[in-house]
Amino acid sequence: MAFTGLFLISFLVVHAGLNACIFNDLPVFDENDNGDMFNRAAHFMGSSYVIRIMEIGLFAGIILHIVQGFALEAKNRSRRSVGYKVNLGNRGSKWYSRSMGLLGTLLLLFLIMHVAHFWVPSRFNGLEEVEGKNYHNLFQRMVDVFQSPLVVILYVLGCISLAYHLLHGFQSAFRTLGLQNKRYIVLVQGLGTAFSIVVPFVFALMPIAFYFKWIG
């Protein structure tokens, strides 16, 4: 779980960074960008063989993380057939640290919707291309998808699930791999908390920005 988790965390950095290119359309940066910076970045990701090979690795990583996660949750749940009448609950641990299976399942449902919204149309159905250029207008796709308030709400909920999943997962992964130095544990916990807030926040801003027409 820890190895695949950290691999997926590294992917989130790339994903959030690349998608943040959409914000170049904000009036404060370049009002006439209209998503060009993002479309060029997305085209680079889609056209490079190196990235395409890494994409296979990414899917393998996600699937492995999901399979391991469900197997681990099932195994651990089977270890106590008779439960307690009164549970320890939040007196001993944080709710999200006990709910990684639930949060992960919510993220899986979100991912299915998310992949269907963007990756599948771009890879298989052939999106409309940018005028005069030979690459897909994924920016326009984002504008279209995020017109629906329901979709925006689901995306924000997905980001909240991601935030709590990371809040436990980030630091837990390092400790599973044996991190025991107290100074580094504090550093990783601080870094993990910041990461868990900043990355999902940047992601959540995207559908919100399109819906309220701050960009697009």
Give the Cα separation of 195 and 173 in Å (integer): 14
Tokens, residue 41: 């970045």
The answer to whether the Cα torsion of 108, 145, 12, 95 is positive or negative is: negative
CB of 85 to another protein, least distance (A): 6
Among 13, 116, 177, 186, binds another protein (CB under 8 A): 177
One residue of 28, 91, 124, 126 binding another protein per CB under 8 A: 91
Is residue 183 part of the contact set for another protein (CB under 8 A)?
no
With CB under 8 A as the contact rule, the residue among 27, 126, 132, 178 that binds another protein is: 178
Element holding 44 (H helix, E strand)? helix 36-47
Q: Does 198 bind another protein (CB under 8 A)?
A: no
- Closer CB to another protein, residue 50 or residue 75? 75
Binding status of residue 52 toward another protein by CB under 8 A: no
What are the φ/ψ torsions at residue 17 (nearest 5 degrees)? Answer: -65, -45
- Choose, by CB under 8 A, the member of 28, 50, 82, 150 that binds another protein: 82
98, 105, 157, 193: residue in contact with another protein (rule CB under 8 A) = 98
- What are the distances in angstroms from CA 123 to CA 12, 47, 74, 140? 20, 11, 34, 15
Task: State how far the Cα of 8 lies from the Cα of 111, in Å rounded to an integer.
Answer: 13
Cβ proximity to another protein: between 171 and 196 the closer is 171
Kindly state whether residue 125 participates in binding another protein, applying the rule CB under 8 A: no
Residue 129 tokens read as 């291309």
Which window, 22-30, 94-102, 130-138, 193-201, contacts another protein (CB under 8 A)? 94-102
Length of the chain: 216
The SS3 assignment for 201 reads helix
Cα–Cα distance, 212 to 216 (Å, whole number): 10
Binding site for another protein (CB under 8 A): 72, 75-76, 78-89, 91-94, 97-98, 100, 168, 171-172, 175-180, 182, 185
